[in-house]
Amino acid sequence: MHKIARELVVNHVKDMIIESTKTLDKSIVDSLFLAKDQEENPLAKSVLEKIIKNQEIAKTEDIPLCQDTGIVVCFVEVGRDLHFDYDLRHAINEGVSKGYIEGFLRKSIVSHPLKRVNTQDNTPAVIHFDFISGKQLIIHLAPKGGGSENMSTLKMLSPADGRQGIIDFVLKSIKDAGGKPCPPLIVGVGIGGNFEYVAELAKKAIFRPLSDVSPIMEDRLLEEELLEKINALDVGPMGLGGKTTALAVKVNSAACHIASLPVAVNLQCHSARKSEVILIGTQA
């Protein structure tokens, strides 16, 4: 039996939140530089230059990249050999609370969708648990912005709509969203599963590394085709036109019912903040 101290979880979550809201992953910065060099639209170039400058200021001056420091989403993988004598969900939320208060981050969570009273510490986080073998605890975490989340979409297509139906739906979602989700985007697409699972697939897709390509041939071809077609829409950075609407498209698929073809599109803005930690249990 293996254990991981509660304090360790709390502190790691806190640190990941503070760090990720101020630093953009190098792969995204590199991709923004590349996009800026390739843009021919002067306004698009100017927007990309400012986005690049912004992440430099955020990092060097310790200021959040964006004022919307998001709702925290966690995908937690729990090793089967681990034993917890505390509530892991509580520990993660305590880390979230500490991160937002000590990190001077914006508290954007209200306790009820209609009563709308701020919880004052950005809890609760949205936490998904899964089991893996071994004694590791892996926490994938993203402070996810509301603007891009609001433009995400889901539709239960008919199997006859097929691949073209998926492409049409994704393109329509991006076009309708325009500048509102703060493009350039990372587009997470879920296909298959059922109503709630397809949304989770799309959300998980935005957690994939920028350079990652799907190991499934059908999904990989869809990723390539969608990226090309999305960037031909002329939405551009902040919706002002240009060829940089998406930096990447990730497709995640799952088995589904004979009657269904669920599709979900989760949009991640250019402020694509995320972090990951692997904690290893010690023999108790």
Partner 1 sequence: MERKLNTPISDPVRKSLCAGEEVLISGTIYTARDAAHRLMVESIENKQALPFDFEGQIIYYVGPTPAKTGQAIGSCGPTSSYRMDRYSPSLMEKGLKVMIGKGERTEPLREVIQAQEAVYLIAIGGIGALLSKTVVSSEIIAYDELGPEAIRKLSVKDFPAIVAIDSKGQSIFK
Q: Which spans of this chain sit near ligand SF4 (rule: CB under 6 A)?
A: 66, 68, 145-148, 181-182, 269, 271
Q: Which is nearer to ligand SF4, 97 or 148 (CB)?
A: 148
DSSP 126: E
135 touches, from ligand SF4, partner 1, none (C-beta below 5 to 8 Å by class): none
Shortest distance, position 205 Cβ to ligand SF4, whole Å: 17
Residue nearest to ligand SF4 (CB): 145
166 touches, from partner 1, ligand SF4, none (C-beta below 5 to 8 Å by class): none
Q: Which is nearer to ligand SF4, 58 or 264 (CB)?
A: 58
Parallel, antiparallel or unpaired: strands 126-132 and 71-79: parallel
Q: Which is nearer to partner 1, 244 or 253 (CB)?
A: 244
Q: 3-class DSSP state for residue 109?
A: coil
Q: Which is nearer to ligand SF4, 98 or 270 (CB)?
A: 270
Rounded CA gap, 261 and 277, in Å?
34
Cα dist from 87 to 4, 7, 10, 94, 160, whole Å? 12, 12, 11, 11, 45
Q: Which is nearer to partner 1, 29 or 240 (CB)?
A: 240
Residue burial 190-199, b: 16+ Cβ < 10 Å; e: rest: bbbbeeebbb
Summarize as ranges the residues that interact with partner 1 (CB under 8 A). Answer: 43, 46-47, 50-51, 53-55, 57-58, 61, 63-69, 104-108, 116, 118, 120, 145, 147, 150, 178-180, 182, 234-235, 238-241, 269-271
* H or E stretch covering 265: strand 261-268
Selection from 214, 196, 217, 183 nearest residue 39 by Cα? 183
Q: Which is nearer to partner 1, 18 or 202 (CB)?
A: 18
55 touches, from ligand SF4, partner 1, none (C-beta below 5 to 8 Å by class): partner 1
Shortest distance, position 149 Cβ to ligand SF4, whole Å: 8
Shortest distance, position 12 Cβ to partner 1, whole Å: 22
Q: Tell me the residue type at 111.
A: S
CB 84 within 8 A of CB 41: no
Parallel, antiparallel or unpaired: strands 136-144 and 153-157: unpaired
